[in-house]
Amino acid sequence: MRRVLKFLHTLASCGLVGALLVYVLILVSMREATPEIYAAARSTIGDVCNYLLLPSLAVALITGLLAMAVHRAFLDTRWAWLKALLGLSMFEATFAIVQSKATTAAAEAAKIALGTGDRIALAEAIANEWWSLGAVLALSMAQIALGVWRPRMAFRWVDVPS
């Protein structure tokens, strides 16, 4: 069971980082795009979020928490608890911030393609989106670093004399 959870957790982490990098690449490649191409690219970002980013994040979070339950030694290590806390923070940041920014920017880009949108609102959404992506990527790299290096942060239980 532990190996299956580890495999799924690693696979989901790869999907998560891959989705974030695809998201960044799409944003970088469409800086000089026409409104129609930009709206289509925004739709693609929405698809990447819906079909790769969020499912990968959910699988990584669930398998990580299950791994803690199955492998009891993880319950005594601070790095595992820190990783769990970062995973929950990452889920919140990705779901609430990145996903909502992608949806807002996609809707505004579609309006601009039709000639009714506000370019200033789109520019603000994109500026905030870069900060959000940077935060999620930083959390993701911290998660990977903790999982690979597993720093010695074990709890030390001290017997208190009666």
Residue 36: per-residue pLDDT: 82
Q: What is the pTM of this model?
A: 0.81
pLDDT digits (tens, 9 = 90+) for 86-111: 999 888 888 776 767 777 888 888 88
Beta strands in the chain (DSSP E): none
pLDDT digits (tens, 9 = 90+) for 106-138: 888 888 888 888 888 888 777 778 888 888 999
**156 SS3 class:** coil
**77 SS3 class:** strand
Work out the widest C-alpha separation in the chain, in whole angstroms. 77
Residue 154: per-residue pLDDT: 54
pLDDT > 90? residue 9: yes
Q: Which fold has domain 2-149?
A: A middle domain of Talin 1 (1.20.1420)
pLDDT digits (tens, 9 = 90+) for 16-59: 999 999 999 998 998 778 888 888 888 898 899 889 999 999 99
